[in-house]
């Protein structure tokens, strides 16, 4: 295995491989993913570099980078990867491991993305379905950007694009129980 001056044992690589089901070592750094990825230009490190950083065990640096949170899981990269590596699954593994290890990012964009997903999951927990208007309002409040997208609201509401009311499942309780069990499973797994 390549270690390139990294002295400690690399525990990050096997952890990512196990979680993602992919083998990051297969990557031969061709960069096709970088050219394919629609958001690689916005990433701190494009997918190719993230793959190499995992090989080198640079866990902190990978967590710090916005790359895994900017991945849109569009699967364009994995479709073209000549080594057939499931790169979106690798990005997902990075996110999940960083959440498990309670890593807090200080990148505002990353925190915004995380807040959005937290609010979305909260909506499902409450109603069993998404409540678009409340989700957007909560996002604006929690990111302290009250007027975001407000210019769209009058037209969107007037045209019925966004509805003021919302639906609730009859058995929203079943979803709340599901959340509890899933949380427990998340903690008990190896």
Partner 1 sequence: MKKLTYFPGCSAHGTSEEFDSTLKMVLKTLDVELEDIPDWNCCGATSAHVMTENLAYALPMRNLVLAEKLDSKTMGIACASCYQRMKVTKVHMDEQPVLAEKINSTIVEDGKYHGTVDVKSMLQYCYEDIGVDVIRSKVTKSLAGMKLACYYGCLLTRPVKITQFDSPEYPISMDRIVEALGAKATDFDYKTECCGASFSISNTDIVLELSGKILEMALESGAHAIVVACPLCQSNLDMRQPDIEKKSGKKYNIPVFYFTQLMALAFGYPQDQLKFPKHIIPVDEALSYIGKIEPEPEKVKRTKKAVEAESEVE
Which of 120, 144, 157, 190 touches partner 1 by CB under 8 A? 120
Residue 79: exposure state from Cβ atoms within 10 A (0-12, 13-18, ≥19): exposed
Q: How far is the CB of 104 from partner 1 (least distance, A)?
A: 14
Q: How far is 148 from 145, CA to CA, in rounded Å?
A: 6
Q: How far is the CB of 5 from partner 1 (least distance, A)?
A: 33
Q: How far is the CB of 1 from partner 1 (least distance, A)?
A: 27
**C-alpha neighbours within 13 Å on the C-beta side of residue 23:** 6
Whether residue 47 contacts residue 37, with contact meaning beta carbons closer than 8 Å, is answered with yes
Closest CA relative to residue 69, chosen from 49, 43, 97, 32: 43
Site for partner 1, rule CB under 8 A: 38-39, 42, 70, 72-76, 78-79, 86, 88, 92, 95-96, 99, 109, 112-118, 120-121, 123-124, 128-130, 132, 135-136, 139, 148-149, 152, 155-156, 159-163, 166-167, 169-171, 174-175, 177-179, 181-182, 185-186
């Amino acid at each position: 295995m390549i270690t390139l001056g990294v002295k400690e044992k690399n525990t990050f690589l096997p952890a990512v491989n196990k979680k993602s089901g992919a083998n990051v070592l297969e990557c031969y750094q061709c960069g096709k993913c970088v050219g394919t990825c629609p958001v690689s230009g916005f990433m701190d490190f494009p997918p190719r570099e993230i793959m190499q950083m995992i090989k080198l065990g640079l866990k902190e640096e990978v967590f710090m980078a916005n790359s895994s949170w900017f991945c849109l899981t569009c699967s364009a990269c994995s479709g073209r990867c000549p080594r057939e590596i499931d790169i979106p699954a690798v990005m997902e593994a990075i996110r999940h491991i960083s959440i498990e290890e309670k890593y807090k990012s200080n990148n505002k964009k990353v925190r915004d993305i995380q807040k959005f997903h937290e609010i979305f999951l909260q909506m499902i927990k409450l109603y069993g379905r998404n409540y678009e208007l409340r989700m957007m309002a909560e996002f604006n409040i929690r990111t302290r950007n009250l007027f975001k997208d407000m210019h769209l609201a009058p037209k969107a509401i007037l045209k019925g694009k966004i509805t003021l009311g919302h639906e609730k499942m009859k058995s929203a309780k079943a979803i709340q129980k599901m959340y509890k069990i899933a949380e427990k499973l998340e903690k008990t797994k190896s």
